[in-house]
Amino acid sequence: MDLTLKIWRQKDSKSKGSFKAYQVKNISQDASFLEMLDILNEDLVAKNEMPVNFDNDCREGICGACSLYINGRPHGPDTAITICQIHMRNYKHGQTIVIEPWRSKAFPVLTDLMIDRSAFDKIIQAGGYVSARTGGVPDANAIPIAKDKADEAMDAAACIGCGACVAACKNASAMLFVSAKVSQLALLPQGHIEAKRRVQKMVKQMDYEGFGNCTNTGACEAECPKEIKLTYIARLNREFIGAKLGAQIMKI
């Protein structure tokens, strides 16, 4: 199939970007979206033109690096899927595809389709961990955990930090991401010791990084490739309010 690609090109974070149109021909319907971009870049290099910079790593829907808007939708036309898992059979011969990076103050564009997602890393560094002494691996049954809690924690831990929730939200809120990372630890006994400090530090860092407020439109859940649920945001709010009230009581 032949396609027209309108791709956002931007030299660096300080330069002004714009869309540029490219033609790609004889693309197999079985090719992945990223393979199609690889073919485009091979053509550009052959013409002594600068290839399009885009993030990618695992190409198996695990890392979340390949985050893009495709025709205005985070991660493209399918649900519960990342860009690297999309195949060109989703598109028609002669179609125009608009490709651009996430648009968020907290995710500045580095070059072309690559953005800086280090704001997520800083949120995790603020409290998304469990402090533990090093040593031998503990017995798996040393701390019994109910299956429903373990399953729910695993569902929260499925978040890959791609940023689709931020990209889909009209407020550029990171609440779904933060709630998933808080919940995966809050649900397990190993995470209870630091729970109050954790949620306050992570929310504070989230606000500091410039993410917007949550207004519960549900766009984040709809576009999340790992189908993280809004119920985790409710848990985050409970954890945060409980931590703040506890701190006030201790002062009294």
pLDDT bin (cut points 50, 70, 90) of residue 252 is low
For residue 144, the model assigns a pLDDT of: 83
For residue 242, the model assigns a pLDDT of: 92
Contacts of 212 (CB under 8 A, 6+ apart): 169, 171, 172, 173
Q: What domains can be seen in the chain, in order of their start residue?
A: 3-104 (3.10.20.30), 117-132+143-251 (1.10.1060.10)
Q: How far apart are CA 28 and CA 149, in angstroms?
A: 44
pLDDT digits (tens, 9 = 90+) for 118-155: 999 999 999 998 887 656 766 767 778 899 999 999 99
For residue 130, the model assigns a pLDDT of: 87
Tokens of 49: 């033109």
Question: How many C-beta atoms lie closer than 10 Å to residue 60's C-beta?
Answer: 9
For residue 250, the model assigns a pLDDT of: 60
- Closest by CA to 199, choosing from 177, 176, 173, 181, is 181
DSSP string of 88-125? GGGS-TT-EEEEE---BTTB-EEETTEE--HHHHHHHH
Residue 247 predicted with pLDDT over 80: no
To the nearest 10 degrees (0 to 180), the angle between helices 175-186 and 147-157 is 150
Torsion sign over Cα 81, 87, 90, 91: positive
Contacts of 17 (CB under 8 A, 6+ apart): 8, 9, 10, 11, 109, 112
For residue 120, the model assigns a pLDDT of: 98
Q: What single DSSP character describes residue 34? A: H
pLDDT digits (tens, 9 = 90+) for 7-57: 999 999 999 999 999 999 999 999 999 999 999 999 999 999 999 999 999
B/e letters for 176-187, b = 16+ CB within 10 Å, e = fewer, are: bbbbbbbbbbbb
Question: Which residue reads 């290839």 in tokens?
Answer: 51
Q: How far apart are CA 173 and CA 190, in angstroms?
A: 28
For residue 77, the model assigns a pLDDT of: 93
Q: How far apart are CA 155 and CA 227, in angstroms?
A: 9
Question: How many C-beta atoms lie closer than 10 Å to residue 52's C-beta?
Answer: 21
pLDDT digits (tens, 9 = 90+) for 167-205: 999 999 999 999 999 999 999 888 888 999 999 999 999
Supply the pTM of this predicted model.
0.93
pLDDT bin (cut points 50, 70, 90) of residue 246 is confident
Q: How far apart are CA 211 and CA 168, in angstroms?
A: 13
- Closest by CA to 171, choosing from 220, 122, 208, is 220
- Closest by CA to 123, choosing from 161, 86, 76, 84, is 161
For residue 118, the model assigns a pLDDT of: 97
Tokens of 54: 């885009």
- Closest by CA to 200, choosing from 159, 245, 249, 153, is 245
